[in-house]
Amino acid sequence: MVVPVDLSAQVPPVDTFTHPLADVSAPETPLSPEEVQFLQQLWDAIDYGIFVLEVIENGQDFRYVKFNATMARTSPIPVDYLLGKTVREALPPTIADICMRRYQACFSSAQPVSFEEHFEHDGQRTWWLLTVTPLVQGPSGIQQLIATAVDITTQKEIEAEIGIREAKFRRFVENADDLIYEVAADGTFTYLSPQFKTMYGYEVKDFLRKPFAPIVHPDDLPRMIASNQHLLTTGERQSGLEFRTRRKDGSWLWLVCNNSPIKNKLGQVIGFHGIARDVSDRKAAETKLQEQTRYKTLLSQIANQICNALSFNTVIETTIHAIRDLLELDCCGFSWLCPDEAEPIWEVIMDTQSEGIPSFVGQYPASILGSAPELIIQQQMIIINDPQEIEDPIFRSLVESLGVKSDILLPIKTGTQRIGLLFGSYIHKQHYWTDSEIELLTAVGDQLSIAIDQADLYAQTRAKSQELEITLQELQRTQAQMIHHEKMSSLGQLVAGIAHEINNPVNFIHGNISYAAEYTQDLLGLIELYQKHYPNPTPAIADHIEEIDLEFLSQDVLKLLGSMRIGTERIREIVKSLRLFSRLDESDIKSVDIHEGINSTLMILQNRLKGKPNCPGIQIIKHYGTLPQVECYAGQLNQVFMNVLTNAIDVLEEMDRHRTLPEMEAKPSQITITTSLVDAEWVEIAIADNGPGIPEDIQSRIFDPFFTTKPVGQGTGMGLSTSYQIIADKHQGSLTCTSTLGQGTKLVIRIPHR
């Protein structure tokens, strides 16, 4: 406010008026010069302005009557202009009214009144803090007011600058996209910028003096509390704290916060203020980028896995498990759509699902899919975010009946023109399929299509390879069997020929031994008769009798003939066994005694069974049951007995070569032959040894052609293979092996007796 002044007035000296510091209520006692000087010095030494107002007409106006030196020096209006004038005369009406109200309030209340006012002079504004105090002067009441005036221009300029800055900061805060806040030590908000409502949907007043924790994500809350506690404890600034918070609408908002401590004059942390920025978009972008990166990595892994898995089932199983784990599906599966059948079908061949969800594997009429097959045939992906969006009522009914809340069906085109269908379902929750997920599934579908074609091609190639391998094995087996059969046939013919050639002279000898014994007995009887009737022979006869030891000869010749009879009988039995074993005259199926075949085989192998020096031999233990006549190829069955027994003897001989005589006597080598009738239809022959046994990893291979564990040159690997073919193919029976290491091996032959 500009106040016009008259600079012609002068400030009167102190001694021309009553000093305001004097006690005006005391008796009017003249002041000594010293007292006047002291008061004048005190009046002028005070560093703030003082002036005195005279009360006019009981407070109707006031006149400026006294000013101290400080007031005269600092007053924006020259005091010589003010001196002797009333307030209304000295000041413009507007400011005069303000001052009058203040002065009258002091006069009427008899209490000090303080107020601030500004003055403008020569284009400069000054601010003053005025305190007006009534001076009581005896019974006449208040005659004067004394006022102090402190120049607060600098303070006001600072306040104005602060105000400008505060306004600027307030505009910055109110218009900032970030949230600015202040939190007390107890964790409650003491300030929230208006952006809070924009970000969260809540009114600012709803959260003042309340904590932030209730809207922080439970997984992030411990981390946020720890950061705030660290700041309050140490006073260290916390930057880059990221966590999730829930908006009023229930959605999640990502914040990144920078917090700084608030300290009192003692340096104690009493809270903190900070800035929070909404980084939800950045987080979403990061999540999407991470998701895309993860999808690409997993797609590469899935592609490698399904491309390396040459089996169709492995390809499908790998794919559906990978997709279900990746997308956290409740169910994922693969099916075939067969629209060209008489009744089109939808066949789910494999699926994987969460616990408690049933499998959908099976065949279903394609009609339950409604119009979906038409889209699938056209290779259109079907995306279902909400079953209510499905227009086809039949398909919608199926989806709802299965409890599916979100679904996706991806057609898979194969090189064989079969229509595959990869499907993934959410049952426990609704899910909105993202572009990234759809892109991933499309890429997986392309890889799956290639893998299926590759698996089909591999299966065809493998089938052809297996056919060729089987054909080759059959050729090798047939060739080996033919060679073996030819060898056995030649051996049989040789054995039969030898047996025949041996049989004729042996029969001749055996048949004449009886006559020779009879003739010898007659001759010995005649000699005895001579000795009886001619007891005294001539000296020549007596000498000859003594020379030949007639008595011993008479006794021994009969024993000799008996031994010859036993020997020829043994030869005849061996010949019989050879003929029974060869069976050349029994190439067709005939009823035979199995036990005869076993015994004839043992007879031929007797030389290998009997003991040798330092080896007690192999014991044969027979447990023969009562068996009917068995219709079989006797010669071939005898070959089986020979092969099985020969293998057992080989094993036991090899074991005995590594044992001492006491060990062999303590646990002699044994072959146990057990025959029995099973279920009245099957004859079972079990041949067991107590050898070292067969390792488990090669038990399944002992019937393979050319497989042998014997050293090179000691086995062809065809014995058991041929035996298996004879039992399985010729007799529709079975040949099985059970073995335990350290206990022995048992081969069981089972054939029908008819």
In tens, the pLDDT along 458-510 reads 777 878 888 888 888 777 766 666 665 556 555 555 666 676 667 677 777 77
**Cβ neighbours for 397, distance < 8 A, ≥ 6 positions apart:** none
**Two tokens, residue 310:** 């040459």
Q: What is the pLDDT of residue 104?
A: 93
**Two tokens, residue 204:** 């600012």
Of 173-177, 295-299, 574-578, 644-648, highest mean pLDDT: 644-648
Average pLDDT of the residues in 597-616: 84
Question: In whole numbers, what is the pLDDT of the chain averaged over residues?
Answer: 82
pLDDT at 715 over 70: no
Q: How confident is the model at residue 19 (pLDDT cuts 50, 70, 90)?
A: very low
69: left (phi over 0), alpha (psi -120 to 50) or beta: alpha
Higher per-residue pLDDT: 236 or 472: 236
Q: What is the pLDDT of residue 18?
A: 46
Q: What is the pLDDT of residue 537?
A: 85
Average pLDDT of the residues in 731-741: 89
Cβ–Cβ < 8 Å for 669, 652: yes
Average pLDDT of the residues in 256-260: 93
State how far the Cα of 639 lies from the Cα of 149, in Å rounded to an integer: 140
pLDDT at 1 over 50: no
**Two tokens, residue 85:** 């004038």
**Two tokens, residue 149:** 């005036």
**Two tokens, residue 667:** 């646990």
Q: How confident is the model at residue 307 (pLDDT cuts 50, 70, 90)?
A: low
Residues 336-356: tens digit of each pLDDT: 988 877 788 899 989 999 988
Cβ–Cβ < 8 Å for 66, 51: yes
DSSP 31-88: PPHHHHHHHHHHHHH-SSEEEEEEEETTTTEEEEEEE-HHHHHH-SS-HHHHTT-BHH
State how far the Cα of 153 lies from the Cα of 159, in Å rounded to an integer: 10
- Helix H, strand E, coil C: the string for 73-140 is HHCCCCHHHHCCCEHHHHCCHHHHHHHHHHHHHHHHHCCCEEEEEEEEECCEEEEEEEEEEEEECHHH
**Two tokens, residue 265:** 């004059």
Map tokens 């091996």 to a residue. 745
Instruction: Give strand pairing partners of 365.
Output: 345
State how far the Cα of 586 lies from the Cα of 642, in Å rounded to an integer: 18
**Two tokens, residue 258:** 């920078």
Q: What is the pLDDT of residue 7?
A: 31
Helices 594-604 and 634-656, packing angle to 10 deg: 40
Cβ–Cβ < 8 Å for 67, 79: yes
* E strand or H helix that includes residue 234: helix 221-234
Q: How confident is the model at residue 698 (pLDDT cuts 50, 70, 90)?
A: confident
Q: What is the pLDDT of residue 220?
A: 92
Residues 63-122: tens digit of each pLDDT: 999 999 888 888 888 888 999 999 999 888 888 898 899 999 999 999 999 988 887 767
**Two tokens, residue 33:** 């010069």
User: Strand, coil or helix: what is 203?
Assistant: coil
State how far the Cα of 275 lies from the Cα of 261, in Å rounded to an integer: 12
Lowest mean pLDDT among 43-47, 114-118, 384-388, 657-661: 43-47
pLDDT at 11 over 50: no
State how far the Cα of 541 lies from the Cα of 547, in Å rounded to an integer: 10
201: left (phi over 0), alpha (psi -120 to 50) or beta: left
Q: What is the pLDDT of residue 718?
A: 64
Cβ–Cβ < 8 Å for 18, 146: no
pLDDT at 296 over 90: no
Q: How confident is the model at residue 587 (pLDDT cuts 50, 70, 90)?
A: low
State how far the Cα of 306 lies from the Cα of 454, in Å rounded to an integer: 10
- 346 by Cβ neighbours in 10 Å (0-12 / 13-18 / 19+) ranks as buried
Average pLDDT of the residues in 250-265: 92
**Cβ neighbours for 334, distance < 8 A, ≥ 6 positions apart:** 316, 319, 320, 348, 349, 350, 351, 412, 420, 421, 422, 423
Average pLDDT of the residues in 141-153: 90
Lowest mean pLDDT among 554-568, 572-586, 590-604: 572-586
Cβ–Cβ < 8 Å for 575, 506: yes
**Cβ neighbours for 136, distance < 8 A, ≥ 6 positions apart:** 24, 25, 110, 142
Average pLDDT of the residues in 49-69: 92
